[in-house]
A and B are shown apart, each in its own frame.
Chain A
Amino acid sequence: EAGVVQSPRYKIIEKKQPVAFWCNPISGHNTLYWYRQNLGQGPELLIRYENEEAVDDSQLPKDRFSAERLKGVDSTLKIQPAELGDSAVYLCASSYTRGAEQYFGPGTRLTVT
């Protein structure tokens, strides 16, 4: 069975440009998470979806970040416009249900110049 798929794996953009990350969770997993991980730090939860409903988005910088999970399967995280401080690894994870074991994708390493 395929794991969590993320694309792209790497992205380099100039500041003020938009960028989007895509995640395909494990089939049947109702809960989807987006994390941001800065160098030397643990993952920081940005948003959690239960099916297509966004919950726990208190850490999502809503002025420039947006996310969607149409039909409760794939998800997209967007940043517009990107800032230098957004350089990080963006991780997507999914779990069968809230509180259950999370399966992480390989992440997207974003570099903003």
Chain B
Amino acid sequence: LAKTTQPISMDSYEGQEVNITCSHNNIATNDYITWYQQFPSQGPRFIIQGYKTKVTNEVASLFIPADRKSSTLSLPRVSLSDTAVYYCLLTDSGAGSYQLTFGKGTKLSVIP
């Protein structure tokens, strides 16, 4: 079972770029790297997904090195509304069964 490791918490000031790194040393060939955001009393919400190199969408960027043993979620110019828990998740889109493990996530606190 491939597991992920993230920092428990991070603090950042408004307007700064935040980078959250996730380690996944045992990532499998079929695994994609997916990040979710969760606010209190809500279900997680998809942010971004990638397999290798760099992926960018309207809210974040995902950097994945060639060995794929880690990944970094980058949030540009965070605001107070970005205060949430961020989860790194490995998802297997291949055949057969697989296990989804969210881990404890990284609690990001944005300070005014």
Main secondary structure of the interface of B (DSSP, over half): loop
Give the one of B42, B100, B102 with max A CB within 10 A.
B100
What 6 pairs across the A-B complex have the smallest Cβ distances?
A104-B43, A99-B93, A42-B102, A101-B46, A45-B100, A99-B91
Give the interface of A toward B (CB within 8 A): 4, 33, 35, 40-45, 48, 55-56, 58-59, 91, 93, 97-107
Q: What would 13 A/B residue contacts be, using CB atoms closer than 8 Å? A: A42-B87, A43-B44, A44-B102, A56-B98, A56-B99, A91-B44, A99-B94, A102-B44, A102-B46, A103-B46, A104-B43, A106-B41, A106-B43
Contacts of A55 in B (CB 8 A): 97
Q: Which residue of A lies closest to B102 (CB)?
A: A42
Determine if B42 and A106 form an interchain contact, defined as CB atoms under 8 angstroms apart. yes
Q: Which residue of B lies closest to A40 (CB)?
A: B104
Give A102 to B85 CA distance when docked, in angstroms: 16
Contacts of A91 in B (CB 8 A): 43-44
Q: Which residue of A lies closest to B91 (CB)?
A: A99
Determine if A98 and B100 form an interchain contact, defined as CB atoms under 8 angstroms apart. no
Give A103 to B44 CA distance when docked, in angstroms: 8
